[in-house]
Amino acid sequence: MISKVITGKSFAGCCRYVCRKEDHVKILHVNGVREANPKDMAADFEDNRRRLPNKHRAVFHGILSFHPSDRVTESRMTLIACQYLDRLKITDTQFTIVKHSDKAHQHLHIIANLVNMKGIAISDSWLGLRGKKVAQALTLEHGLKIAQGRTPKLTPPARGSEEAVKEEIFSTIATALVLCKSFAHLENVLAHCRIDIMYKRNGKGEAAGISFRKGKYAFKGSDIHRNFSFAGFQKRFGGERVDVVRRVKRSRGLGL
């Protein structure tokens, strides 16, 4: 799932744009605004914005795009959109969630007022970056397919190839690291994505290497990315040691 955030000044223009393709638009949920037509919706947003006249860029327009292979129910889309707003701290305010079906991938448009119901400004600091991180976390939590780039694309035909699996493992780890603060946490998240972590131990029984396996393919961490070596993860996780008795597995035939 990919997040894109736009902030602007005109609720009228934003509502008109989001609702323009009537045959491909469905309003899933509204809070504090009318949904009958874009004009009424924009008027309700604007009425509340006037409570803070000096807040000129009060329009939050978030776009959540799902991978084409994901088929997400409308109720789940609504839940994800609400969680997305909550984690961005866009709360106690007007918003609307609109589903578009004019492209191969499902996607949502979320309009929210950055002036809340009490007439207080909601911070727009680093919204774009924060939106990407929140979307990455929600992708993992909801077991969705990790989409690449600005527009989600179908996996190329050779998706079962070694290189395609390697790329998938890289993308999953990179996304997981937004959430994970320890080896144990990383193991749990990757297990949910059917990726196994294997550790190589040295003569003292200490973990000294790491590899990742999905299906019939396995790769050294450093072969996936230079930061995904065992030393790289230790540095990221503050020098945490792995419980070799419980969790370290001898990796054979993996080139560790």
pLDDT score, position 100: 92
Cα separation of 238 and 243, whole Å? 15
Q: The whole model's pTM is what?
A: 0.65
The structure tokens listed for 202 are: 């040295």
Query: What are the phi and psi torsion angles at 97 (to 5°)?
Result: -120, 120
The structure tokens listed for 141 are: 């939590």
pLDDT score, position 244: 41
Q: pLDDT means per 10 residues in the chain (256 residues)?
A: 91 92 88 93 96 93 90 92 96 96 86 97 92 88 69 46 82 79 85 87 81 91 87 80 45 37
Contacts 24+ apart (CB under 8 A), 177-186: 177/236, 178/133, 178/136, 178/137, 179/136, 179/137, 179/140, 181/237, 182/237, 182/240, 183/233, 183/237, 183/240, 183/242, 183/247, 186/233
The structure tokens listed for 162 are: 């070694």
Q: Which pairing describes strands 107-113 and 207-214: parallel, antiparallel, or unpaired?
A: unpaired
Cα separation of 43 and 229, whole Å? 54
Neighbours of 138 (CB within 10 A): 19
Cα separation of 193 and 66, whole Å? 17
pLDDT score, position 111: 97
Q: How far is CA 78 from CA 31, 73, 109, 120, 163, in A?
A: 12, 9, 11, 25, 35
Cα separation of 168 and 142, whole Å? 17
pLDDT score, position 181: 81
